[in-house]
């Protein structure tokens, strides 16, 4: 089932998510819904808090559904390694229409469960390292604007509030 994606301004996007206690039919359904919602958006990643579900789970698919092997599901991910720095333009389904240049690690490794509850380690560079950090941030209640400073951040927040007031957010 495709869910609405929460947008900047919703408090549920800014609260740290809780660990998943065990893999169950409910987590399986949640992950199916997250994948469907990510593909429908369309996007390359989605975290459970973006659907209003406060659990530490995200999905990433840089192929946007073209390559079944590219789909990553992570439950209770933890950092294993992060190194280096990259600066690229980035967006988020919770801030439609906005992008910014965000500093992210050049290489990142996370470890968590896959949807069957088996431990998986994912290593990413370039766009995948960026996506891993972006989705991990969602699990900690952080959006990419929270990684910006000064004028750029204020400008995005102000424009989003204006759209919200106009009922266009």
Catalytic residue numbers, as ranges: 135
Query: Cβ distance 7 to 96 under 8 Å?
Result: yes
Nearer to Ni ion among residue 47 and residue 75 (C-beta): 47
Residue 92 binding Ni ion, by CB under 5 A: yes
Task: Give the interface segment with Ni ion, choosing from 18-26, 91-99, 114-122, 147-155 (CB under 5 A).
Answer: 91-99
Nearer to Ni ion among residue 23 and residue 127 (C-beta): 127
What are the two backbone dihedrals, phi and then psi, of residue 139, each rounded to the nearest 5 degrees? Answer: -70, -20
> Least CB distance from residue 69 to Ni ion, whole Å?
23
Q: Can you give the length of the chain in residues?
A: 169
Size of the site for Ni ion (CB under 5 A): 1
Please list every residue from 9 through 48 that binds Ni ion, using CB under 5 A: none
Contacts of 26 (CB under 8 A, 6+ apart): none
The sign of the CA dihedral 108, 142, 50, 62 is negative
> Least CB distance from residue 92 to Ni ion, whole Å?
3
Question: What is the C-alpha to C-alpha distance for residues 44 and 37, in angstroms, rounded to an integer?
Answer: 11
Which residues are near Ni ion by CB under 5 A? Answer: 92
């Amino acid at each position: 089932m495709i869910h609405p994606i929460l947008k900047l301004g919703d408090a549920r996007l800014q609260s740290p998510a809780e660990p998943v206690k065990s893999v169950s039919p409910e987590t399986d359904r949640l992950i199916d819904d997250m994948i469907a919602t990510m593909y429908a958006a369309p996007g390359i990643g989605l975290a459970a808090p973006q659907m209003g579900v406060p659990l530490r789970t995200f999905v990433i698919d840089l192929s946007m559904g073209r390559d079944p092997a590219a789909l990553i599901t992570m439950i209770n991910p933890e950092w294993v390694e992060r190194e280096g720095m990259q600066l690229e333009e980035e967006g988020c389904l919770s801030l439609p229409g906005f992008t910014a240049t965000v500093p992210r690690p050049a290489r990142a490794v996370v470890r968590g469960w896959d949807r069957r509850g088996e431990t998986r380690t994912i290593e990413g560079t370039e766009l995948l390292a960026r996506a891993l950090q972006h989705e991990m941030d969602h699990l900690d209640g952080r959006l990419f604007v929270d990684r910006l400073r000064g004028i750029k951040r204020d400008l995005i927040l102000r424009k989003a509030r204006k759209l919200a007031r106009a009922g266009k957010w």
